[in-house]
Amino acid sequence: MWCAIAHYHELALKGRNRSILVRQLVNNLRRATSDLAVSSIDSLPGRIRLRFVDGTDIEQLWQILQHRISSVFGIANYGLALSSSIDPTGDLSRLKEALGPAVQSQQFQSFRVTTKRGDKRFPKTSMDVSREVGGYIQELTGSRVDLTNPDLTIHLELLFESAFASFAKMPGPGGLTLGMSGKTVCLLSGGIDSPVAAYRMMKRGCHQIFVHFHSHPFVSRASQEKAEDLATHLTQYQYHSVLYLVPFGDIQRQIVLSVPPPFRIVLYRRFMIRIAEQIARRHRAWALVTGDSLGQVASQVPDNLTVIEDAAQLPLLRPLIAMDKIEITAQAQSIGTYETSIIPDQDCCTLFMPAHPAIHPKIEAIRKMEATLDIETLVQQGVEGAQKREYSFP
Ligand code: ATP
Ligand code: MG
């Protein structure tokens, strides 16, 4: 009978919490495949098994299942596998019987068998099993054994009373199980960088709450639509997302009225941070995430990063800080956010964008300028004006 077997990195899941984390990983796999013909997902020693609904067209299912499994963080590798019972006394005849027809349907001249025992109580060693099953396949197909460069590798995994055989192992996305690192609030601009920042944090196990600041009706709805598309797309990695669309135009106008142009950008950012933080507290998120990359633009030079961070009380995480634009762009392409990110829009910060932003602002000076504004009211205005959107996947 065919099933899928997924492996996780043992090291990532060590310690006392291991069973909780495996349960979470199983849960995530269930959510990722909830609309597919998967009948059960269970945790076996050292691996996770996905069983299929009887009578399913396996090839067709596998086309889509591969995509789903490869977006579940924490999976190290996975593959389609033939399962068979084995006899704890060491008799492998049922395994060989199941494997025979499957091997015969493969095209190959040379092969090898690699065996891993997940349960050391099984009386034969891995080497014994590989040799015995290899001998059987050689006899059955007339093909030769090649240990260094075979056309076909048959991976056997033996537990106590069951065995799995697969012909190919695909790399999973790696990373940590989503949910194991809590929640963070990602400031999602609609540009190239912040969706990549969100992805990298999800890959470290953090569920993202998205916050987008827009200047509608001073500009079109384009940036909001992009943020909505990006949040929708990123939901495939976390199954449910919340996006807040925060009206920011009025706040910017207030800032423009009392702050000289070179300092406006950092003030906008400081207000964004404060508003995002209120939302974070509401969701019990432990940190904020931005797509800043050191030196990329004026607002991301050291002194500006420092002054912006000063407005935050929660940790402010910048997962892209040491990546350059080429690396970030390549990752945006590989996760599928790039095409949306490059759609032209009028970002809220281009609206009241100064020609020459300051690059060495002093925090005391910035605080003094802010003192002329009613910070609390403006932040409250942003939080209360926010529109909440929710997305689910699949
Ligand atoms: P991105 O490609 O993510 O837009 P960027 O290179 O354009 O980044 P900035 O515009 O300086 O850089 O923004 C830096 C970070 O601040 C963004 O990555 C994002 O996290 C946050 N940010 C900027 N503008 C917005 C916005 N309108 N809504 C939400 N977050 C924003
Ligand atoms: Mg931007």
377/228 same-domain check? yes
pLDDT band of residue 12 (cuts 50, 70, 90) is low
190/135 same-domain check? no
346/230 same-domain check? yes
pLDDT value at residue 16: 72
Q: Is residue 242 part of a domain?
A: yes
146/189 same-domain check? no
Task: Give whole-number Cα distances, 79 to 40, 116, 241, in Å.
Answer: 16, 15, 29
Protein residue whose Cα sits closest to atom 8 of ligand 1: 193
Q: Is residue 77 part of a domain?
A: yes
> What atom in ligand 1 is closest to the CA of residue 195?
3
pLDDT value at residue 298: 87
Report percent pLDDT > 70 for the chain: 98
- Find tokens 């033996």 and name the residue: 158
Cα end-to-end distance, the chain, whole Å: 27
118/12 same-domain check? yes
Q: Is residue 342 part of a domain?
A: yes
Q: Is residue 178 part of a domain?
A: no
8/131 same-domain check? yes
359/248 same-domain check? yes
- Which amino acid is residue 348, in one-letter code? C
Model pLDDT for residues 112-138, shown as the tens digit of each residue: 999 999 888 889 999 999 999 999 999
What value does the mean pLDDT take over residues 22-39? Answer: 97
Nearest alpha-carbon partner for 80 in 182, 203, 164: 164
103/26 same-domain check? yes
- Which amino acid is residue 225, in one-letter code? E
CA distance 229 to 234: 9
Distance of CA 240 from the midpoint of ligand 2 (Å): 24
pLDDT value at residue 353: 72
Which residue segment(s) compose the domain that 282 sits in? 183-392
Q: Is residue 212 part of a domain?
A: yes
Residue 13: pLDDT over 80: no
> What atom in ligand 1 is closest to the CA of residue 328?
2
205/293 same-domain check? yes
**Contacts with 280 (C-beta within 8 Å, 6 or more apart), sequence order:** 184, 185, 209, 286, 287, 288, 314
96/189 same-domain check? no
210/166 same-domain check? no
User: What's the number of domains the chain is made of?
Assistant: 2
Tell me, what CATH number does 279's domain have? 3.40.50.620
Q: What is the pTM of this model?
A: 0.95
CA distance 23 to 155: 25
Q: Is residue 35 part of a domain?
A: yes
Of 171, 195, 224, the residue at which a domain comes to its end is 171
- How many residues does this entry show for the chain? 394
Model pLDDT for residues 307-356, shown as the tens digit of each residue: 999 999 999 999 999 999 999 999 999 999 999 999 998 777 776 777 78
Q: Is residue 176 part of a domain?
A: no
Q: Is residue 198 part of a domain?
A: yes
CA distance 1 to 82: 6
Q: Phi first, then psi: give them for residue 6, nearest 5 degrees.
A: -120, 140
| Pocket lined around ligand 1, Cβ cut-off 6 Å | 187-189, 191-194, 211-213, 272, 290-292, 296-297, 299-300, 347-349
Q: Which one of 187, 188, 189, 323 would you pick to mutate in the ligand 1 pocket, going by the greatest count of ligand atoms within 8 A of its CB? A: 189
Residue 292: pLDDT over 70: yes
Of 107, 138, 171, the residue at which a domain comes to its end is 171
Model pLDDT for residues 212-258, shown as the tens digit of each residue: 999 998 889 999 999 999 999 999 999 999 999 999 999 999 999 99
124/12 same-domain check? yes
> What atom in ligand 1 is closest to the CA of residue 289?
20
Of 136, 151, 171, the residue at which a domain comes to its end is 171
3-state secondary structure 321-355: CCCCHHHHHHHHHHHCCHHHHCCCCCCHHHHCCCC
Q: Which one of 184, 193, 244 would you pick to mutate in the ligand 1 pocket, going by the greatest count of ligand atoms within 8 A of its CB? A: 193
